[in-house]
């Protein structure tokens, strides 16, 4: 009997445990990001969905009635076993139907999963009362938190060793040139553009989604461990941050000679607290640059101006108003990409959205510092291929799709609205999932975005029900609907703009029904 109970309890705990581990891993195992998410989205709904709490409520009601009218011990045992069976079956069904969120099974995730299962099993064995088993599957957050606390010393030891190894390897290669890139938006695009321009010089860039201290440190170890100490390589490092001090730590590892701060905006405002705090955190990159280094900042972004005071090295500004050190003029978007002029040199870059000109300017400015000429840079940029899901325009089933689902920020949202406004399509539909980690500014930011979007789009489809009210109350009204309500699909020739971390399955739901699902780039 005890073996059956153990198996049922294990299965009952499995789904909420996998769900929370998956969510925490997406939040990079950061407790602050996880708590902010759960605070905004709701702990119960995020971990247990809507069905499990109802099952527990029904079970408790049955148990109460049973205690009053029949044998309490018998009813308590029956209800407990029944609840465990139902929860175990629910976990199995979710997994078999592939509806269960799963973490990437790294060593850390596997260890956390194992401990999160073993701890409640030990708790179960110590229980003398069978009815108390009902609480075990609903205490999964506690088991996972205990697992995190138990593994934290090991995690800290391994992290310290990795950071130390990467730092020492960097110091052992004094001839490399490291270019650090940070900012609220645009850092990945800037990194990819710069890496493309400098590819013939052997430049290497951090992979997609690698911008934390551990990710960058592991990448440095991989790149430098087999390189001779006099290797004169160029390494381009994307640097992300959620709190003050993280860019400083990344700079201590990478020791950048060049630093690019793309933009100071509202992304992750809930974690930083203010735009000034975001600017100070990003400014740690400029403060780390040597006297003979080079800093690059955005002249069009007013919040960036004070960053100049942090630099010991020369500062180059880029912009589009004619007053920056390096300016793009005569900017236009064509069917083949964006055209503009820099110091009488014409550029054509196969990108959608004139807002990306600033990212191109940063890549041009840094390449010039490394000895390239404007004609050479222009030639390389003609063959650039945009990062998938990063302001990428495609034709899918006859519908023009702007796929900007790589990341999410208020500024990228504004850029998508501005781009859509200039498009000729008669029917324009917006697909969003909402912008997270905005803290107390969430309502005001979404209200502003909704009012602007309502002037451009005929309707908006929203993946997360929590954000529906912002769009309905600010311009869209009944034209704002949940994706789960199965809204009318688009027609051939329509425009679909997808903003934020929207899955491809959600995009497919809004496309015309077709026997073929061809994904064709609009721009080449």
Query: What is the distance between the alpha carbons of residues 20 and 40, in angstroms, rounded to a whole number?
Result: 15
Phi first, then psi, for residue 180 (nearest 5°) are -95, 135
Domain extents in the chain: 2-153, 172-381, 392-521
CATH number for region 392-521: 3.90.190.20
* Token couple for 247: 């860019």
Handedness of CA 345, 349, 352, 358 (dihedral sign): negative
Q: How many angstroms separate the CA atoms of 89 and 14, rounded?
A: 11
d(CA 477, CA 339): 38
| C-alpha–C-alpha distance, residues 199 and 367, integer Å | 11
Q: pTM for the complete prediction?
A: 0.85
Query: How many angstroms separate the CA atoms of 182 and 259, rounded?
Result: 8
Long-range pairs, 106-114, Cβ under 8 A, ≥24? 106/25, 108/29, 108/151, 108/155, 109/21, 109/25, 111/147, 111/151, 112/21, 112/144, 112/147, 112/148, 112/151, 113/17, 113/18, 113/21
DSSP 206: P
Q: Kindly state the helix (H) or strand (E) to which residue 450 belongs, with its residue range.
A: helix 442-454
pLDDT of the chain, 524 residues: tens digit per residue: 677 878 888 888 898 899 999 999 988 898 888 888 888 777 777 777 777 766 666 655 554 544 444 544 444 567 677 778 888 888 899 899 988 989 999 989 999 999 998 898 888 777 655 556 667 877 888 999 999 999 999 999 999 999 999 999 999 999 999 999 999 999 999 999 999 999 999 999 999 889 999 999 999 999 999 999 999 999 999 999 989 999 999 999 999 999 999 999 888 777 888 999 999 999 999 999 999 999 999 999 999 999 999 999 999 999 998 899 999 999 999 989 999 999 999 999 999 999 999 999 999 999 999 999 999 999 999 999 988 888 999 999 999 999 999 888 898 999 999 999 999 999 999 999 888 888 888 999 999 999 999 999 999 999 988 899 999 999 999 999 999 998 999 999 999 999 988 888 899 999 997 644 444 444 43
- To the question of domain 172-381 being in CATH 1.20.1070.10, the answer is no
Beta bridge partners of 496: 401, 429
CA distance 22 to 295: 38
Enclosing H/E stretch for 521? strand 519-521
Distance of CA 112 to the CA centre of its chain: 22
- First CA to last CA distance, the chain: 65
| pLDDT the model gives residue 36 | 84
């Amino acid at each position: 009997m005890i073996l059956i109970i153990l198996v049922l309890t294990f299965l009952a705990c499995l789904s909420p445990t996998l769900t929370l581990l998956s969510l925490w891993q997406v939040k990079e195992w950061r407790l602050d990001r996880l708590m902010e998410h759960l605070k905004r989205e709701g702990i119960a709904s995020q971990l247990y969905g809507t069905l499990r709490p109802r099952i527990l409520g029904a079970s408790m009601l049955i148990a109460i009635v049973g205690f009053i009218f029949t044998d309490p011990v018998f009813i308590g045992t029956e209800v407990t076993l029944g609840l465990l069976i139902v929860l175990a079956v629910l976990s199995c069904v979710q997994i078999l139907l592939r509806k269960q969120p799963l973490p990437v099974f790294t060593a850390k995730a596997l260890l956390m999963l194992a401990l999160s299962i073993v701890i409640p099993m030990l708790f179960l064995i110590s229980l003398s009362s069978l009815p108390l088993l009902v609480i075990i599957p609903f205490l999964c957050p506690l088991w996972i938190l205990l697992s995190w606390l138990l593994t934290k010393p090991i995690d800290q030891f391994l992290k310290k060793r990795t950071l130390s190894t990467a730092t020492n390897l960097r110091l052992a290669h004094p001839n490399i040139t490291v270019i650090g890139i940070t900012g609220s938006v645009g850092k990945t695009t800037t990194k990819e553009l710069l890496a493309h321009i400098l590819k013939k010089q052997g430049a290497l860039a951090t992979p997609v989604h690698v911008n934390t201290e551990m990710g960058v440190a592991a990448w440095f170890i991989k790149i430098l461990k087999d390189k001779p100490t006099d290797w004169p390589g160029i390494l381009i490092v994307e640097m992300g941050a959620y709190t003050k001090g993280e860019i400083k730590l990344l700079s201590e590892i990478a020791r950048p000679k060049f630093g690019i701060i793309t933009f100071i905006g509202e992304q992750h405002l809930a974690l930083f607290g203010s735009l000034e705090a975001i600017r100070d955190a990003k400014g740690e990159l400029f403060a780390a640059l040597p006297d003979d280094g080079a800093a690059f900042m955005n002249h069009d972004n007013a919040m960036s101006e004070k960053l100049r005071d942090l630099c010991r090295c020369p500062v180059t500004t880029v912009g589009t108003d004619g007053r920056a050190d390096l300016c793009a003029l005569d900017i236009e978007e064509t069917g083949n990409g964006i055209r503009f002029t820099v110091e009488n040199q014409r550029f054509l870059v196969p990108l959608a959205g004139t807002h990306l000109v600033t990212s191109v300017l940063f890549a041009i400015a840094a390449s010039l510092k490394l000895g390239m000429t404007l004609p050479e840079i222009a030639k390389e940029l003609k063959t650039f291929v945009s990062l998938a899901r990063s302001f990428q325009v495609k034709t899918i089933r006859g519908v023009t799709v702007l796929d900007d689902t790589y990341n999410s920020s208020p500024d990228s949202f504004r850029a998508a609205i501005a781009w859509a406004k200039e498009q000729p399509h008669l029917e324009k539909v917006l697909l969003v999932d909402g912008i997270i980690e905005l803290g107390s500014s969430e309502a005001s930011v979404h209200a502003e975005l909704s009012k602007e979007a309502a002037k451009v789009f005929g309707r908006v489809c929203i993946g997360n029900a929590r954000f529906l009210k912002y769009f309905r109350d600010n311009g869209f009204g009944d034209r704002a609907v949940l994706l789960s309500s199965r809204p009318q699909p688009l027609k051939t020739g329509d425009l679909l703009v997808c903003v934020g971390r929207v899955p491809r399955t959600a995009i497919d739901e809004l496309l015309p029904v077709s026997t073929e699902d061809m994904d064709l780039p609009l721009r080449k």
